[in-house]
A = this chain, B = another copy of it.
Amino acid sequence: MSRTGFGDGSFWQCLFSPGSVAMVGASDVPGSWGFNIMQRLIQSTGLRIFPVNPSHPTVQGLPAFKSVLDIPETPDMAIIAVPALRVPSVMQDCAKKRISAALVVSGGFSETDEEGRKLESQVVAVAKESGLRFVGPNTMGHANTHARFSSLGFMGKVVPGPVGFAAQSGNMGSRIMQLCMNEGIGFSKFVCTGNEANIRLEDYLEYLAQDDETRVIVFYIEGLREARRFVRLAKETTVSKPVVVMKAGATGASIRAARSHTGVLAGSDIIYTAAFRQTGVIRADNEDELADVVAALVKQPLPKGPRVAILTMGGGFGVVSAEACEREGLQMATLSDSTLSRLDGILPARWPHGNPVDMAGMDTMGEQVVLNCLSALIEDEGVDCVLSLVALHRFAPMMPGAAYMPSQRGNTDARAENLKAVAEKARSLGKPVLSVGAMPPSLGEKTAVETPWEGFSIYPSPQRAARVLHHLFWYKRYRDNVRQ
Contact = CB atoms under 8 A, between A and B. Distances in A.
Contacts of A210: none
A322 B252 CA distance: 9
Interface residues on A, range: 35 or more
A356 B169 CA distance: 15
A292 interface: no
Contacts of A170: 314, 316
Interface centre among A260, A315, A442 (most CB of B within 10 A): A315
A320 B174 CA distance: 14
Contacts of A175: 317, 438-439
A262 B316 CA distance: 9
A272 to B, nearest CB: 13
Interface string A346-380: 00001010111010000010000000000000000
A430 interface: no
Interface string A24-65: 000000010000000000000000000000000000000000
A248 B315 contact: no
Contact of A461 (B261, B286, B316, B364): B286
A417 to B, nearest CB: 26
A317 B174 CA distance: 10
A96 B355 CA distance: 42
A190 to B, nearest CB: 14
Interface string A293-333: 00000000000000000000111111110111111000010
A254 B319 contact: yes
A443 B260 CA distance: 34
Interface in A167-185: 167-175, 178-179, 182
Contact of A364 (B31, B173, B326): B31
A251 B323 contact: yes
A253 interface: yes
Nearest to A179: B440
A444 interface: yes
Interface stretch (A106-114, A224-232, A469-477): A106-114
A315 to B, nearest CB: 3
A30 to B, nearest CB: 9
Contacts of A111: 315
B286 A327 contact: no
Contacts of A381: none
Contacts of A199: none
A120 interface: no
A248 B323 contact: yes
Contacts of A275: none
Interface in A145-199: 167-175, 178-179, 182
Interface centre among A171, A319, A461 (most CB of B within 10 A): A319
A288 interface: yes
Contact of A254 (B250, B258, B322, B460): B322
A463 interface: yes
A275 to B, nearest CB: 18
A316 B220 contact: yes
Interface centre among A170, A314, A320, A444 (most CB of B within 10 A): A320
Contacts of A252: 326, 332
A256 interface: yes
A287 interface: yes
Contacts of A69: none
A461 B175 CA distance: 10
B315 A257 contact: yes
A202 interface: no
A76 B167 CA distance: 64
Nearest to A172: B316
A171 B288 CA distance: 25
Given A178-B440, A355-B253, A442-B442, A258 B107 contact: no
24 contacts: A31-B364, A111-B315, A112-B350, A169-B315, A171-B317, A171-B438, A172-B314, A178-B439, A182-B440, A220-B316, A248-B316, A251-B323, A253-B323, A253-B325, A253-B326, A253-B356, A257-B354, A260-B354, A260-B358, A261-B315, A261-B319, A261-B358, A285-B463, A287-B320
Given A253-B356, A260-B358, A261-B315, 5 more contacts: A182-B440, A248-B320, A257-B358, A288-B460, A442-B443
